[in-house]
Amino acid sequence: MKKQENISIKAKLLGSIIPVVVVIVLALVLISYQASAGIIEKYSQNLLESSVSNQSSKIEAWLNENLASFQMAKTTIEEIHPDDAQLKTILDGYYGYNDNYPDGLYVADSNGNMITATGSSKKDTNPTQSTWYKEGLTRVNMAVGSAYKDATGANVISASGILDDGTDNIRVISADMTLDRIAIIVNSFIDMDDAEAFLVDKNTGTILANRESSLISQKLGASGQSEYYSKVAEKVADKSYDFTTIDGNMTVFKEVDGTDWLLVSYIPKDVVLADLINLRTIMIIVGIISVIILCILVERMTHVVVKPVKQMTNAITQMASGDFTVAIAAKGRDEIAQMGYSIQAFLESMKQMIAQIGKVSDRLNEQAGSSKSVSVEMNMAADIQSKSMMELNDTVDQLSVSVNEIAQNATQLAGVAAETKQDGDSVDSKMRQTVEVSKKGRQDMEQVGNALTSIEESIRNLENAVNKVGAASKEIVNIIKFIGDIADETNLLSLNASIEAARAGEAGRGFAVVASEIGTLANNSAESVANITELITEINRLVENAVSQAGSSVDEIADSAMLIHTAVDTFNTIYNNINDTNSLMANVVEKIGQVDEVATNVAAICEEQAASSDEIMATSESMLGQAKNISKNSGQVEVSAEELAASAQQLYSEIQQFKI
């Protein structure tokens, strides 16, 4: 096997510390650069915003100054209501008055007429279609409108408004202002070197002022312009006016109050960070020099620290080869010196320990021989004990099988007794229910007998009553017959009276009428008697049938009553037999319960005996296992004694290798 080359602690420390130092220095340089760049960018942003705010304020002041003059002229004209000649005189007064609007003021009406100052170059063939006129119609006060090119091609903006001078026509007063002054403000009043600015109409996208005059009046982002202008046009279209970096240029947007103008100021980021790049180079050089100095210092410090460690390493290497005669000269009170003192103490302890181990190895060799003879005797005794335990184990096993069989039979007997007891309890419950049902049936039969007796008496009473009705009907028939006789005699008397009235002639006519009525009454009475007789005859027939049926019912009820009394006697006999059977079943259930208890006790005792047999069996098996383990361990002790003797001899040989 090829021996690996050792790497010194010094090399490891230098290999670990120097890369860390280099990384830390580079990280500090990078962090410092990034922090400085952020600070410079923030400062530049603030400076740009301050510059563009200042420019915006100057533009607003310039516009307000001119608008104030225009508004004053407009107010003056509206107060005096001049005619056209007077109006022209007023306009002449403003011609050449200010360089910002050299042509002065001019007025146009809805008929297309235009009034300008004498000498003014303002010409417009159709003023009602011009931009300034249309914008002026939308406001009362003077205000700045959109930029456009006038007839001469100059870039101008108009301030216009409706003029109320008392005429019937709608008039607009306006003044053209050149963008030169605005261009001067945009291009000159910048607080940062190398920064630029331009003014754009945010509604139309037209460039109003720019350092490059060729771009003025062009559409922002038009073809031929740089990529930066195209990206600014996108921001303007999105109305995103926050600070941002566009195409490498730090850009600030500022809206000019009172107008639709947007002032854009920008500076290349490389210009802002140019000094910082030089600073970064200087910091990198300083960092490299610092790394070199730190590496030299680390190497020297490592050498001083590692030197005593190297001495101790050599001493430990010699100890590893078995030479404990070395010595370590430790100096100082630091951790490395303490480690040297500890190694020296370890050397002294090892010398004493090796001497003691040599003595112990001799004693171990002697004790190993004694242990071997004892282990042989233990092995023989363990074999004899193992055979005896095996015989005991077989005997206990047979006993356990017998006890388990008895326990199983006793358990089955207890189960059968318990089931029989449950069946007996169920039969006892059913017998008790049967006794109650029989008792209730006997009572019901007695009630039925009593009820039939009452019915028999009621039918006999009904029979007597019907017989009485039959007798009464016979008497009524006699009376009706008597009434019929009376009616026949009355009819005969009526006939005789009619004959006598006929004989009496005219004097007996009234009596004849009475006799006729009496005859009619007698006939009706005879008919009624005949009808009543028929009804009474029918009633007598029905009464005789009722008496006959009542007699039959009395006989049948008497027979039923006799049968029911016989059934009551039978129920009494059944009830008494069931009571006796119930008593016998109670005794049977009680005896079965006693058998159940005895069987349960026998089963429990058998189970305890079986458990005891199992415990004896387990104990026997455990003892058998222990006997086998003892025999096995005795053999192992014998082998170990032999190994111990060999180890003691080997230990003695190894101890002889050390130099103390």
Q: What pLDDT score does 426 carry?
A: 72
CATH 1.10.287.950 correct for 353-654: yes
Q: Assess whether pLDDT exceeds 90 at residue 172.
A: yes
Bigger pLDDT: 419 vs 228: 228
Alpha-carbon distances of 529 from 479, 515, 518, 534, 543, rounded to whole Å: 10, 21, 16, 9, 20
Residue 488 tokens, joined: 């026949």
Rounded CA-CA distance 602/608 in Å is 10
Strand partners, 160: 143, 174
Domains 24-278 and 353-654 share a fold: no
pLDDT average, residue stretch 464-479: 71
Rounded CA-CA distance 169/163 in Å is 10
pLDDT band at 1 (very low <50, low <70, confident <90, very high): very low
Q: Is the dihedral of CA 632, 634, 637, 638 positive or negative?
A: negative
- In CATH terms, the fold of domain 24-278 is Beta-Lactamase (3.30.450)
Q: Which residues of 393-415 are buried (b: 16+ CB within 10 A; e: fewer)?
A: beebeebbeebbebbeebbebbe
* Percent of the chain's residues with pLDDT above 70: 72
Rounded CA-CA distance 570/549 in Å is 31
Which of 66-80, 393-407, 481-495 comes out lowest in average pLDDT? 393-407
Using CA atoms of 519, 520, 523, 524 in order, give the dihedral in degrees to the nearest 10.
Answer: -140
Measured in whole angstroms, the distance separating CA 509 from the mean position of its chain's CA atoms is 126
pLDDT band at 658 (very low <50, low <70, confident <90, very high): low
Q: Assess whether pLDDT exceeds 60 at residue 329.
A: yes
Q: Assess whether pLDDT exceeds 90 at residue 161.
A: yes
Quick count: other Cβ atoms within 10 Å of Cβ 308? 19
**Model confidence pLDDT, tens digit, residues 485-506:** 777 777 777 777 777 777 776 7
Domain ranges for the chain: 24-278, 353-654
Q: What pLDDT score does 417 carry?
A: 62
Q: Is the dihedral of CA 353, 354, 356, 360 positive or negative?
A: positive
**Model confidence pLDDT, tens digit, residues 641-656:** 677 667 766 766 766 6
Give the closest residue to 218 by CA, choosing from 229, 227, 248, 52: 229
What residue type is assigned to position 78 of the chain? E
Give the closest residue to 44 by CA, choosing from 270, 220, 374: 270
Q: What pLDDT score does 284 carry?
A: 82
Quick count: other Cβ atoms within 10 Å of Cβ 116? 20
Quick count: other Cβ atoms within 10 Å of Cβ 609? 18
Rounded CA-CA distance 339/309 in Å is 9
Q: What is the DSSP letter of 211?
A: S
pLDDT average, residue stretch 595-600: 69
Question: Helix, strand or coil for residue 442?
Answer: helix
Bigger pLDDT: 173 vs 259: 173
What residue type is assigned to position 411 of the chain? T
Rounded CA-CA distance 406/603 in Å is 8
Q: What pLDDT score does 400 carry?
A: 66
Rounded CA-CA distance 22/32 in Å is 15
Q: Assess whether pLDDT exceeds 50 at residue 524.
A: yes
pLDDT average, residue stretch 197-204: 87
CB 540 within 8 A of CB 474: yes
Q: What pLDDT score does 350 carry?
A: 77
